[in-house]
Amino acid sequence: MHKNKGPVYYGDYLQLPKLLDSQLPLSRKYADQVNGECHDEMLFIVVHQVYELWFKQILHDLDSILAVFHKAFIPEAELSTVVQKLERIKKIQGLLIGQFDVLETMTPMDFLEFRDLLIPASGFQSVQFREIEIKLGLHTNDRQDVDREFFMGRLSEKDRGHLGEVEKLPTLLRSLETWLERLPFTLSGDFNFWQEYQKSIDSILQDDKNIIETNSAHLSDKQKNIQLENLKITRSTFESLFDEKKHLELINNNQRKLSQKAILNALFILLYRHEPMLTIPFQIITSMMDIDENFTTWRYRHALLAQRMLGTKIGTGGSSGHQYLKRAADNNRVFLDLFNLSTFLIPNSRLPQIPLEVKRKMSFNV
Ligand code: HEM
């Protein structure tokens, strides 16, 4: 056991004097302008500080996850620690979403009492929030034109410089992509999983076509044609998985982010998630989706908070307020490709047979 050289005191170890002396309401400083210190400004400050502390912990865990993904070979045990840390981030996100309840005990009227003193400070200037976004995979160039100005525009030169450096580092999205691309099971000897999968899709779509054509006595010609047209669209969506040109078009239009190989391998993991070697990859993919979903939930919840507090007023950082935040929630998804994979799932009964030799490779009893 490690022994300390001197006694440790609770408050010193946690630097509590510094921490607890860091809540300085502006309404105290400008008490004469606002008829005395506003009681709820303390809550406003504490809640923001707690958020920033949790952002710090998320970044701490995110950095260690990224360090594992940077390795050329990732041992199984390290992947388990990745899963554990992703789980922790999800739990923290739960707290971040729940904390809005506490802040909402402050009424819009109470907020109005000190809000103008904050101008032009704004959540836009939360460097840690931006750092999390960037490290997950949301770069300035991924933003819509209108949002790009706000992404970095309200920051000091020093903070902008720091985030500029962060943008040069590999992100979780790109690390996941490289790792997925390395999955070895879909091509082995004569076995080409994707050829077999396409045959299954063809037969499923042919069955659907037969159902429309033979069992549609109750449908008018117009309804029948609409259903056949929809089936063509489904076929073309499936084709976009395998057609490199279509895939690149989707990437250029910002509708897909991951490489074709990474997407196909992620789909393989979802389809064969019960195979022993794929359970951890499945947990990783699921956790990334959960984190994306939690972030989006946080954004919508925050947009609603802003609407509750401000109505249609603009934010202290100069954006359209609720409208801006709602748009950011709709557009800033990191792992949307993983969500969209559900389009390509097929029932177990129609899955291609995996040759025994590949099945063996996917189990631990080799
Ligand atoms: C009374 C409470 C709050 C109100 C009315 C509010 C309002 C707003 C508004 C209107 C914006 C858009 C930028 C602007 O024009 O200023 C914004 C951005 C932001 N706020 Fe809040 N906010 C509140 C609390 C919080 C809390 C507790 C956090 C936690 C850290 C937070 C974090 C952020 C972040 C990170 C952004 C940038 C979002 C983005 O650009 O996607 N806000 N907030």
Q: Tell whether 259 is covered by a domain.
A: yes
User: Which residue pairs from 142-149 have beta carbons closer than 8 angstroms and sit at least 24 positions apart in sequence?
Assistant: 142/254, 142/332, 143/331, 143/332, 144/327, 144/331, 147/324, 147/327, 147/328, 147/331
The atom of ligand 1 lying closest to the CA of 315 is 15
Q: Measured between alpha carbons, how far is residue 278 from residues 265, 274, 361 in Å?
A: 11, 7, 11
Ligand 1 atom, smallest distance to 299 CA: 41
pLDDT over 60 at 84, yes or no: yes
- 271 within some domain: yes
Distance of CA 340 from the midpoint of ligand 1 (Å): 29
Q: What is the number of the ligand 1 atom nearest to the C-alpha of 324?
A: 12
**What pLDDT, on a 0 to 100 scale, did the predictor assign at position 258?**
96
Strand, coil or helix: 191: strand
- Band the pLDDT of 145: cuts 50, 70, 90: low
> 188: part of which helix (H) or strand (E)?
strand 187-188
pLDDT at residue 106, as a whole number: 98
CA–centroid distance for 182 within its chain = 22
Whether 79 lines ligand 1, by a CB cut-off of 6 Å, is: no
pLDDT digits (tens, 9 = 90+) for 21-67: 999 999 999 999 888 999 999 999 999 999 999 999 999 999 999 99
pLDDT at residue 141, as a whole number: 80
Q: Give pLDDT, residue 365.
A: 65
Average pLDDT of span 254-260:
93
**CA–CA gap between residue 216 and residue 225 (Å, rounded):** 11
User: If pLDDT is split at 50, 70 and 90, which confidence band does 154 have?
Assistant: confident
CB of residue 111 inside a 6 A radius of ligand 1: yes
- Evaluate: CB of 331 within 6 angstroms of ligand 1: no
Q: Is the CB of 126 under 6 A from ligand 1?
A: yes
Ligand 1 centre from 299 Cα, in Å? 9
Q: How far is the CA of 122 from the centre of ligand 1 (A)?
A: 6
Predicted TM-score (pTM) of the model is 0.93
Query: 154 CB under 6 A from ligand 1?
Result: no
Q: How much is the average pLDDT of 247-258?
A: 92
Counting from 1 in the atom list of ligand 1, the atom nearest the Cα of 316 is 16
Q: Given a cut of 70, is residue 123 above it in pLDDT?
A: yes
Average of pLDDT values for 332-359?
A: 91
Q: Find which of 30-34, 307-311, 317-321 is predicted with most confidence, using mean pLDDT.
A: 307-311
> Is any ligand 1 atom within 6 A of the Cβ of residue 96?
no
| Cα-based distances in Å from 13 to 7, 10, 46, 213, 273 | 10, 5, 20, 75, 45
86, 281 contact by CB (below 8 A): no
What is the distance in A from the centroid of ligand 1 to the CA of 290?
22
38 in contact with ligand 1, CB cutoff 6 A: no
- Does residue 24 sit within a domain? no
Q: Is residue 41 part of a domain?
A: no
Of all protein residues, the one whose alpha carbon is nearest to atom 34 of ligand 1 is 123
Instruction: Answer whether residue 189 shows pLDDT above 80.
Output: no
99 lines ligand 1 (CB under 6 A): no
Q: Is residue 153 part of a domain?
A: no
List 192's β-bridge partners, or say none: 187
CA 101 to ligand 1 center in whole angstroms: 15
- Whether 65 is covered by a domain: the verdict is no
Residue 127 in any domain: the answer is no
In whole angstroms, how far apart are CA 115 and each of 102, 119, 123, 201?
Answer: 18, 7, 13, 57
Per-residue pLDDT band at 183 (split at 50, 70, 90)? confident
How many percent of the chain have pLDDT more than 70?
Answer: 98
**CB of 324 shorter than 6 A to ligand 1:** yes
Which residue has the least CA distance to atom 40 on ligand 1? 124
Q: Are 329 and 322 in contact (CB under 8 A)?
A: no
Compare 143 and 251 and report the one with higher pLDDT: 251
Count up the domains in the chain and report the number: 1
pLDDT at residue 244 above 80? yes
Cβ proximity of 117 and 316 under 8 Å: no
pLDDT confidence tier of residue 361, bands split at 50, 70 and 90? confident
pLDDT reported for residue 186: 83
Tokens 């923290």 found at: 92
**pLDDT, averaged across the chain:** 92
For a substitution probing ligand 1, which of 46, 124, 312 has the most ligand atoms within 8 Å of its CB?
124
Q: Is 25 in the pocket of ligand 1 (CB under 6 A)?
A: no
In degrees and rounded to multiples of 5, residue 277 shows phi and psi of: -70, -10
Give the mean pLDDT of 239-243: 89
- For residue 302, is it within any domain? yes
Average pLDDT on 243-255 reads 91
Q: Which domain holds residue 254?
A: 172-366
Ligand 1, atom 3: nearest CA belongs to which residue? 306
Evaluate if residue 132 carries a pLDDT over 80: yes
Q: Which DSSP symbol is given to 275?
A: S
Please write down the HEC assignment for all residues of 235-269: HHHHHHHHCHHHHHHHHHCCCCCCCHHHHHHHHHH
Q: Is 58 in the pocket of ligand 1 (CB under 6 A)?
A: no
